[in-house]
């Protein structure tokens, strides 16, 4: 909250939409500007958070369908609400990659949703654009997850702007897993001050070239479209550099707790170490916890990690 009073007016105030011209990247202007500076220049307008009646219930919490506004889009999601009057602190959840064609609302983070609900936190699981009941964005595959990051930012702003009695708009954290971890680093770099703290699990790289080479290049349909729009990372380094949250970590104001397994076969531990090195260089309050031999899904060390999450949230949200 220490930065929110000065930063939120700038995030919510109308600004002129910036246009980035990159002569070496053919057709880049055909899609939403995918760079961090481009997203910084856009107005982030999150609001109109609405929750349905409970769709399920346990002894500790109820689950609700939600919607909120993210720019011109309506984004859906699932909210886990602790039993009781509140107001409760909020944790926004940014899930990992699941094919939008098979994804269902609230998919992923079942352990975390359950733990948060049982421990007095409202969990807001973001569906992202093009997922479940969220509105569609034809640029989503091309904008290097910037649209997803804006949906997470606007979820935070929707909470901040909410007058729902059981939500505390002054205590908001964000937690991202795998692809969602990269989305969180983008969100923190684009809009510092929206969240009070951030947590990542088994994050993808904070350099989009790593992620492109690992996954999107192999998908010839989307890979070829990205290369046509932005060029190869090595041939157009200026643009790819501007798409990397790593190069804007000096904007981050939130403390960060990151977890990664040394035997993660999906997201290399080297990526987490490079991200931590860049955060340290930017003087961000960030800590990387490595679990020797742990894989991408944290089956073994999850209990220890959530104990550390509990202490981290108690420190920064209580």
Q: Report the chain (318 residues): mean pLDDT per 10 consecutive residues.
A: 44 32 37 91 94 96 97 97 97 96 93 97 97 94 94 98 96 98 98 98 98 92 93 96 98 98 97 98 98 95 97 95
pLDDT at 31: 65
Whether the model clears a pTM of 0.85, i.e. scores above it, the answer is yes
Pick among 3.30.70.240, 3.40.50.1820, 3.40.47.10, 3.30.565.10: CATH of 4-317: 3.40.50.1820
Q: Write out the DSSP string of the chain.
A: -TTHHHHHHHHHS--PPP----TTSTTGGGS---SHHHHHHS---EEEEEEEEEEEE-SSEEEEEEEEEETTEEEEEEEEEESSS--EEEEEEE-----TTT--TT-S-HHHHHHHHHTT-EEEEE--TTSTTSPP-TTTTTTTTHHHHHHHHHHHHHHHT---TTEEEEEEEEEEETHHHHHHHHHHHHSTTS-SEEEEES---SSHHHHHHHTGGGSHHHHHHHHHHH--TTTSHHHHHHT-GGGGGGG--S-EEEEEETT-SSS-HHHHHHHHHHHHHTT--EEEEEETT--TT-TTTHHHHHHHHHHHHHHHH-
pLDDT at 17: 26
pLDDT at 15: 29
Domain ranges of the chain: 4-317
pLDDT at 16: 27
């Amino acid at each position: 909250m220490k930065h929110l009073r000065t930063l939120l007016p700038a995030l919510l105030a109308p600004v002129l939409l910036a246009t980035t011209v990159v002569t070496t990247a053919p057709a880049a202007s055909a899609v939403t500007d995918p760079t961090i500076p481009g997203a910084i220049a856009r107005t982030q307008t999150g609001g109109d958070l609405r929750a349905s009646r409970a769709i399920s219930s346990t002894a500790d919490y109820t689950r609700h369908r939600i919607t909120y506004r993210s720019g011109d889009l309506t984004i859906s999601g699932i909210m886990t609400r602790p039993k009781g009057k509140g107001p409760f602190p909020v944790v926004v959840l940014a899930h990992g990659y699941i094919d939008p064609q098979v994804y269902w609302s609230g998919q992923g983070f079942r352990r975390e949703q359950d733990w948060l609900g049982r421990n007095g936190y409202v969990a807001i699981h973001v569906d992202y654009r093009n997922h479940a009941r969220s509105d569609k964005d034809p640029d989503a595959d091309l904008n290097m997850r910037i649209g997803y990051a804006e949906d997470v930012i606007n979820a935070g702003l929707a909470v901040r702007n909410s007058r729902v009695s059981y939500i505390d708009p002054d205590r908001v954290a964000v937690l991202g897993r795998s692809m969602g971890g990269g989305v969180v680093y983008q969100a923190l770099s684009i809009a510092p001050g929206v969240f009070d703290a951030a947590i990542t699990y088994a994050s993808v790289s904070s350099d989009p070239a790593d992620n492109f080479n690992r996954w999107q290049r192999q998908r010839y349909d989307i890979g070829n479209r990205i290369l046509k729009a932005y060029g190869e990372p090595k041939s157009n380094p200026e643009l790819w550099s501007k798409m990397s949250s790593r190069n804007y970590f000096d904007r981050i104001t939130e403390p960060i707790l990151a977890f990664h397994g040394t035997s993660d076969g999906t997201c290399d531990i080297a990526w987490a170490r490079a991200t931590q090195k860049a955060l340290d260089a930017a003087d961000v309050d960030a800590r990387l916890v490595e679990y020797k031999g742990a894989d991408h899904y944290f089956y073994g060390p999850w209990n220890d990690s959530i104990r550390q999450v509990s202490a981290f949230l108690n420190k920064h949200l209580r």
